[in-house]
């Protein structure tokens, strides 16, 4: 499917905005990952639990903002709140505050996740379902390119500047993404409108309870993030054992991200677009559980950082290039208000809830039980993904 001439400007803006957003997230990720293991891998479940609580509070804040500002100002205001929080933590790190590392792990976990969710909400607001089928893969490639640029910046700047001083760079990239999100709204002809109808917690949760599509999506996201966190904890253990130096750990996390994201970009360029065109929605949503199961099997046979990096690369390639565009295309028919607060709730609170549960599970299970538990989760996830595809294809936005 080719991009129409009148879609070029909006597609380019969407691509660029997603590039700078995920570059910002990817600069921040190695710094956050190092902060997460600074107190030992055993502290990760508590850190993930704190992140979950912070995300729940942030989701309420996002709903409150959505009820009081026009959609054209919604993303700029929210992103700038995220950036202000990052800069405040950076100042605390420079001052040697003992709580700053934990605050960085929690706050970056909130803002990176919700910022991406809100950007996808903007895309589903700006484009129709047919346009989404044509353009979301291309726009997702901009995000993948951003995830490649971020670790490269860390490689170049972490030693001369120090890991903590990468935080203002992440905040600056987030501001550039804000500018492109405004250009996207204008070029796509989004209706400026006034603020959305006032939202309460009931307004956020009610669509989840009465929508079969959104209920099934909750289960899908819970399994998506739970399996990802099991891989993440294993990666953190290996990195923690490799060095005790904060800077070296940050660089190692960045190198892992660079390897993973380069694999993602290569596979996305060669495989994702033909796959989306030929395989259909059921296959697009099923590929991630299958690849994740294969990754756990490979890691059980050869528990090494190289195997984890390959598994993560294949998974992220499928996520950014195949699964996420297909999943988001299902949601283009939702009412505009439902594309923000309820969807952001799923992509943030449900997502981080899966993180917290999986982190505690990884601590509770003996090492020999990790692979069987992960494979069982992947099997449930596969069944859920097929159900989600079926429901999405037979519903008008999923509200029944």
Closest CA relative to residue 132, chosen from 311, 395, 334, 355: 334
> Binning pLDDT at 50, 70 and 90, where does residue 145 land?
confident
pTM to 2 decimals?
0.73
Tell me the two tokens of residue 369. 């039980």
Residue the block writes with tokens 């700053």: 100
Whether 308 and 259 have beta carbons less than 8 Å apart is answered as no
Closest CA relative to residue 203, chosen from 335, 102, 12: 335
> Binning pLDDT at 50, 70 and 90, where does residue 19 land?
very high
Please state, rounded to an integer, the average pLDDT across all residues of the chain: 80
Say yes or no to pLDDT of 326 above 80: no
Say yes or no to pLDDT of 150 above 50: yes
Residue 68 per-residue DSSP state: T
Tell me the two tokens of residue 273. 């677009």
> What count of other Cβ atoms lies within 10 Å of the Cβ of residue 192?
10
In whole angstroms, what is the distance from residue 144 CA to residue 194 CA? 33
pLDDT for residue 400: 35
pLDDT single digits (tens) 354-379: 888 998 888 888 878 888 999 999 99
Say yes or no to pLDDT of 250 above 50: yes
pLDDT for residue 352: 85
> Binning pLDDT at 50, 70 and 90, where does residue 199 land?
very low
Least confident of 107-116, 216-225, 272-281, 386-395: 272-281
User: 302: buried, middle or exposed (CB in 10 Å: 19+, 13-18, 0-12)?
Assistant: exposed
Instruction: List the end-to-end C-alpha distance of the chain, in Å, as a whole number.
Output: 31
Closest CA relative to residue 133, chosen from 399, 398, 337, 392: 392
> Binning pLDDT at 50, 70 and 90, where does residue 195 land?
very low
Residue the block writes with tokens 């030693």: 159
Whether 151 and 254 have beta carbons less than 8 Å apart is answered as yes
pLDDT for residue 89: 95
Whether 265 and 145 have beta carbons less than 8 Å apart is answered as yes
Higher pLDDT, 332 or 115: 115
pLDDT for residue 6: 59
Closest CA relative to residue 65, chosen from 56, 53, 55, 77: 77
């Amino acid at each position: 499917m080719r991009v129409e001439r009148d879609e070029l400007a909006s597609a380019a803006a969407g691509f660029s905005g997603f590039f700078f957003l995920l570059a910002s997230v990817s600069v921040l990720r190695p710094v956050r990952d190092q902060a997460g293991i600074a107190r030992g891998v055993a502290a990760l479940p508590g850190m993930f639990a704190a992140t979950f609580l912070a995300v729940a509070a942030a989701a309420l804040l996002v709903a409150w903002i959505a009820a009081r500002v026009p959609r054209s100002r919604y993303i700029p205001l929210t992103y700038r709140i995220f950036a202000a929080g990052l800069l405040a933590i950076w100042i605390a790190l420079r001052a040697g505050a003992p709580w700053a590392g934990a605050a960085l792990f929690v706050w970056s976990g909130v803002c990176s996740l919700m910022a991406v969710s809100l950007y996808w909400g903007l895309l589903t607001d700006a484009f129709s379902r047919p346009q989404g089928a044509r353009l979301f893969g291309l726009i997702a490639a901009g995000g993948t390119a951003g995830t490649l640029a971020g670790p490269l910046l860390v490689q170049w700047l972490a030693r001369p500047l120090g890991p903590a001083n990468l935080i203002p760079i992440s905040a600056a990239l987030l501001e550039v993404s804000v500018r492109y999100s405004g250009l996207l709204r204008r070029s796509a002809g989004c209706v400026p409108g006034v603020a959305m109808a006032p939202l309460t917690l009931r307004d956020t949760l009610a669509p989840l309870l009465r929508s079969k599509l959104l209920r099934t999506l909750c289960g899908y996201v819970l399994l998506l993030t739970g399996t990802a966190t099991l891989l993440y904890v294993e990666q953190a253990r290996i990195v923690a054992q490799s060095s005790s130096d904060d800077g070296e750990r940050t660089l190692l996390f960045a190198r892992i991200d660079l390897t993973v994201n380069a694999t993602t970009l290569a596979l996305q360029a060669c495989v994702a677009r033909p796959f989306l065109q030929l395989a259909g929605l059921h296959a697009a949503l099923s590929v991630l559980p299958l690849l994740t199961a294969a990754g756990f099997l490979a890691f059980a046979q050869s528990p090494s950082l190289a195997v984890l990096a390959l598994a993560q690369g294949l998974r992220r390639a499928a996520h950014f290039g195949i699964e996420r565009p297909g999943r988001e295309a299902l949601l283009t028919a939702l009412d505009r208000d439902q594309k923000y607060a309820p969807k952001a709730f799923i992509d943030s609170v449900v997502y981080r809830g899966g993180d917290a549960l999986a982190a505690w599970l990884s601590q509770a299970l003996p090492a020999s039980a990790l692979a069987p538990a992960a494979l069982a989760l992947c099997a449930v996830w596969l069944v859920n993904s097929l159900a989600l595809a079926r429901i999405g294809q037979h519903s008008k936005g999923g509200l029944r």
